[in-house]
Amino acid sequence: MSAAGIAFRRALALLLLAGCQSAPAPRPPEPAHSPEPVASSGPATSPEPGPAAIGAADASPEQVIVEACQSCHGRDMLSQQRLTAAQWKRTVEKMRGWGAPVDEAEVEPLARHLASVAGPDAGPDATPSVPAAEAEAALAPQPDGPFADGDVRLGRETYDARCLVCHGDGAHGAKPGPNLIDRPILFRAAEFAERVRKGTGLMRASPDATDDEIAGLLAYLRGETRRQ
């Protein structure tokens, strides 16, 4: 899947940055399946990638991190590691096996870059600790407010127009958008709305999304069921 994967990622990035919503969803090729560990750690948050650089033939490792890692991992998941280039390479290969859109040619530069910023000699990890109550509150359901009682049909249409290209059929996750089914954020409507309107990581902002569209999205996504 390597070359096709990277081409897909680039094409998708261009598509998103161009704000094109009506293009048909490209079908990512099925990646080879090979096991690989890694825990996810919090929502992905990152600066927007520079539009000029996206789609360049040789993406910088930092771009690859934003595009390929931070859909699922917070930056702190990477920065807390203290691994050699060889260990990073194994980790990147594991993630590719799980579907991370990293081209084969990007593996070595990415591993070397990660070892230079999060290698064995990188010093103490600066990730702040989070109080337990805060971590728990970050997942707790919140009232729907203006996003209550959404229209499922409008939500489905909105999903198909704005979200499907990245998050896939039935919102089960594709490249690069993660699964949206049974996610705690579906019951944190205000946070969900902010994520949709402001974007995050590779996810394009949709500042024009109306309250009704967001309420509809919530109604639709809450009604979808997991894969068996």
Partner 1 sequence: MTLTAVLQCAGNGRALQRPRVPGVQWVHGAMGQATWTGVRLADLLRRAGIPPGAAHVELAGWDEPPMPTVPRFLRSIPLERALDPTTLVAWAMNGAPLTLAHGAPFRLVVPGWAGDHWMKWLRSVRVVEQEARGFYMETAYRMPVQPVAPGATVPAADMRPLTVFPVKSVVARPGEGARLRAGAIALAGVAFSGAAPIARVEVTLDGGQTWARAALDGPAGAGRWQVWRHRIAAKPGIWRVAVRATDAAGSTQPRDAVWNPSGYFWNGWHAVSFEVAS
Cβ-based nearer residue to partner 1, 22 or 129:
129
DSSP character at residue 118: S
* CA-closest candidate to residue 175, choices 156, 203, 196: 203
> 33-47 burial, b if ≥16 CB within 10 A, otherwise e?
eeebeeeeeebbebe
d(CA 8, CA 90): 23
φ/ψ (deg, to 5) at 133: -65, -35
φ/ψ (deg, to 5) at 200: -165, 140
d(CA 207, CA 69): 25
Smallest gap from residue 160 Cβ to partner 1 (A):
19
**Is residue 5 within 8 Å of 175, Cβ to Cβ?**
yes
**Which pair of tokens denotes residue 138?**
């970050």
Cβ-based nearer residue to partner 1, 172 or 195:
172
Cβ-based nearer residue to partner 1, 64 or 154:
64
Could you list the residues that contact partner 1 (CB under 8 A)? Answer: 30-31, 33, 35-41, 71-72, 77, 80-84, 87, 90-91, 98-99, 120, 125, 129, 132, 135-136, 139-141, 168, 172-175, 178-179, 181-182, 184, 226-227
